[in-house]
Structure 1
Amino acid sequence: MRPFLLAFLALAPAFAGAARAQQAPAREAVIANDTDGILQELYVFRPGAGDGPDRLGSGVLPPRAMLRVPLGRVRECGFEARAVFEGGEEMRRRFDACRNPRVAFAETGPRRAVEVVNGSDRVLRELYLAPAGSRPGRARDWGADRLGSATVAVGESFRLRLRGTTACSFDIRAVYDDDEAEIRERQDLCRSPRLAFGDPDQPLREATVSNRGRRTLRELYARPAGSEGWGADRLGAEVVPARGEFRLRLRGRGCAFDLRAVYEDSREEVQRGLDLCASGAASFGLPVVSDSGGRRVTLVNGFSRTVQQAFLSPADADDWGEDVLGDAVIAPGARQAVTLQGGCQADLRIVFDTDAAEERRDIDICALGTIALRPGWTIDPLVAPAAEPRGPQPGSIRLRNAAGLPVVELYADPPGNKRGADRLGRTVLGAGEVMDFAPPEGPEQCLADLVAVFRNGRELALPDTDLCAGREVVLQ
């Protein structure tokens, strides 16, 4: 009996501790973010212990928001909370979870609001403030980016709050999305709590950029006509879908600008010397051959008048749809490749530069492939023009000018190299014409950045083109 009693007495403290643990209440902390900043990390732990896991996980606690944090079943009341805000600023609070589980992170000391206005034509990406004249003779310590994860778009404003400082004079550093920085020294933010970036003396030009093609426009660059470098992508995180538009804002004393568009397949198009004051608009992209089953037919203009528009629609469609020529025209004697999304039977309507129109129904474009537009074509049997050679010469490509303007310059240089000599010399590649083009440096250098320049200055860039591929390349 005595051994049993001794064993029971030895185990009694353990049983008592387990009973007390089961009776311990479930505790929690209520975290309140009473600041104007985003709380990015939160740690709640016993004083003297490690921080433990971030209680926010992959989330954040926005300004003026609250969060309940479970602390488990514990009898202890004393805890510590550490908050890390956007920009790296930290706050710590000790609290009694038994008496008052609410933990408020609030700003102390003076607080001022400063309005940041982006009057430039670029996105304001970063903003830094440092006490005026700080650390003379040494590199200025700008501290954290005051915008955090935010940016200030063109024409937009941002409300910046300065906390815990009575200083008025600051040095300001603004960084745009093209990495160009602007520094202003000794700005008195007490007297004038407004920071406006951009030269207000330079007028703001606005233009509507239209994507007339069927590919997404991924990047857009702009610069004063003839200047060096393209700067930052004006679209930022946006894209311009097929048939979409984008409102472009530029600052400059002049009206002439160069624009460069890059499509989703990395093809490029450059337009130089555009007068945005006169037109207020720019269009990129022409209809291209579809990668998903579009049927292609070539129209050859045998009239003495220019074909200004062409409408090609399935024979069972209720309307003509859009002009398949886009911005192109078909000059007398020229040819233009167009695409039909649908079956073989199609209706075709052409409109001349005199606004006169002709049309023909139920054309089998799969059987014909090429349509000769000439007097009587609407009623006479359709006859295809004389066939061209079946393919380009071995070790070359065939360039077909499907645009409405001649190609006056052609460049083919090793990928990444500067632009070399014009490969056309004194010749041109007329609208609707074809030519076989072999690598200028010989068959050992097949890969080249190909650039075609049309008579109106528009450029078509085809990077990393295989000049030995033995295929046809359409310039449009």
Structure 2
Amino acid sequence: MLMRRLAMAAALAFTAFGGTAALAQTGDPSFNLVNRSNRVIYEAYASPSSDSNWGQDRLGTNVVPAGRSFVIRLPQGECIYDVRVVYDRQGGPAEERRNINLCNLSELAFDGRQAQQGGQPPQAQQRPQGPAPGGAGPTGNPSFNLVNQGRQTVMQVFASPATDQNWGPDRLGADTVAPGAVYAIRLPEGPCMYDIRFVYDSGQPQERRNVNLCDVTNITVPLQ
């Protein structure tokens, strides 16, 4: 009887504390993006930290001038997000915040102090400029912006380290990239040398091999 009571008490305690913890991780992650820099924010990306890509530009056709703000509306659910802004122009300096609990704040400010030229995140400063010990190649942040300057919609994007034997998942998921659109492809930090493959709405694919993605900000399609 005593053991049964102890077990019931433990179960109730687990439910109480577990339920509280679960609620703390869900809610409304929408926030007010505040530009405290002396630059214009032209692009803003916000995606759950568990996602593998940045998704669409949350500003759309809007920009956020210096000293102004913009409400980023996000779906209720996950709270832990990564946020990225791009200043000045397409492919300009970028600044990121990682693993932010957006449900616990109403605004997120960027001052431009950690912005890196060419859209490279702060971590990229530490990456080696040549092959790593053991011939593993350079490492850093291979994320890039896909710029569609063609007349066809990009239906699929595959990007995998050049050492891999398969393409892996479609990096767009359920999204597509229409002509004239820009889409941020988010890749995990690590190897820089990638093979990339784009598939258009005509079914025609294009590929490029052994690209050092840590040294580029934008990949423009159709590939030249």
The TM-score normalised by the length of structure 2 is: 0.43
Q: Which has the higher helix share?
A: 2
- RCO (CA 8 Å, sep 6+): is it higher in 1 or 2? 2
Name which one, 1 or 2, has greater alpha-carbon Rg.
1
Q: Which has the higher strand share?
A: 1
The TM-score normalised by the length of structure 1 is: 0.22
